[in-house]
Amino acid sequence: MEGLLFKPFVFSRWLKLGLLSLMEQLPFAGLILFSNLAVLIPYLHLLREHTAMLPSLLFVLPLFTLLGLCFQIPFLYASSRAAFAYLQMPLKGESSLWNALAPYARPGFWYFVWRAGFWTLGLLSGALLLGIPAFILSSAEPVFAWTGSGVVGLIASVFLFVFGFFALLTRDFVLPLMWARGLGVLGAWDYLLGLWSRHAVEFVLFYLMRLAVGLLVTLGIVTMGFFTCCLFFAVLMIPGIGQAVLQPVFLFFRLFPLAFLEELDPELKLLPR
């Protein structure tokens, strides 16, 4: 990582990588906007006297989720293309954004299709699994509402954990395998599951280590922000500039899974020598 970012240090290169990092994060911005609709939850009590509307709710809830996903499509596509370019630029020494984006149009498209299908299935399942119980509990007695809310919250936690874990596997391992070996999405998943079946304990330890490092990095960023009287936070909030400043962090968490894959399968040559 030191050689890729600091030897030599080229500020324009950091800005280009920052732009690619920003493009990769676009779906999270859309997800945050979508989650803001949670402000409508307190108004569910207005439907208590209209229980006959429940069948229509079963239709509206998935439809509303699909509309949100349609809003996400251009961001998700740009993010999928940028994910390949972010590997191509530092690891292959590419200096042009266009030359980093162009060679992986087809894999980027199929990676986008996979992610779109995965997000659609996950969000629709979550909307039906959590939205309908929330609607029913909004008109229940307080005791049952609190008990039911706890059960729904537990189910939501498990669902989000499983959903997030598969999303992490896709980004950390499926994407690099598609980039390095020219595999399709299903081929990369088949390769990854083969490694998982032989090294399940190593994968668990990898994510525990990643969690620990992530907490330390977060603590360091927060500390830096307070030591600079929040000026560091202000810089990080500037689109593109914030991602450029944090390039050592972004690049580390991108290279960490690649180094782990090379340890599991020495035939893989993912990092420059």
Instruction: Please spell the DSSP secondary structure of 138-191, one letter per residue.
Output: TTS-HHHHHHHHHHHHHHHHHHHHHHHHHHHHIIIIIHHHHHHH---HHHHHHH
Residue 43 in this model has a pLDDT that exceeds 70:
no
Mean pLDDT on 260-266: 88
Residue 207 in this model has a pLDDT that exceeds 90:
yes
Structural domain includes residue 219: yes
Inter-residue contact 239 to 29 (CB < 8 Å): no
Cα 177 from Cα 187, distance rounded (Å): 9
Range with the poorest average pLDDT among 59-73, 88-102, 156-170: 59-73
Mean pLDDT on 213-224: 92
Mean pLDDT on 197-217: 93
Mean pLDDT on 199-220: 93
User: Could you tell me the two tokens for 247?
Assistant: 């390039």
Average pLDDT, the chain: 80
Residue 88 in this model has a pLDDT that exceeds 80:
yes
Range with the poorest average pLDDT among 68-72, 181-185, 248-252: 68-72
Q: What is the pLDDT of residue 93?
A: 81
Cα 12 from Cα 37, distance rounded (Å): 38
147, amino acid identity:
T
Structural domain includes residue 272: no
Residue 15 in this model has a pLDDT that exceeds 80:
yes
Residue 181 in this model has a pLDDT that exceeds 60:
yes
Enclosing domain of residue 16: 2-264
Structural domain includes residue 251: yes
Q: What is the pLDDT of residue 205?
A: 94
Q: What is the pLDDT of residue 223?
A: 92
The more confident residue out of 200 and 153 is 200
Q: How many domains does the chain have?
A: 1
Residue 92 in this model has a pLDDT that exceeds 90:
no
CA distances to 69, 78, 87, 164, 180 from 100, in Å: 27, 13, 9, 28, 14
Structural domain includes residue 230: yes
- 86 Ramachandran zone, left/alpha/beta (phi>0; psi -120 to 50): alpha
Structural domain includes residue 273: no
187 pLDDT band, cuts 50/70/90, is very high
CA torsion angle for 84, 85, 87, 92 (degrees, to 10)?
Answer: 130
Inter-residue contact 48 to 139 (CB < 8 Å): yes
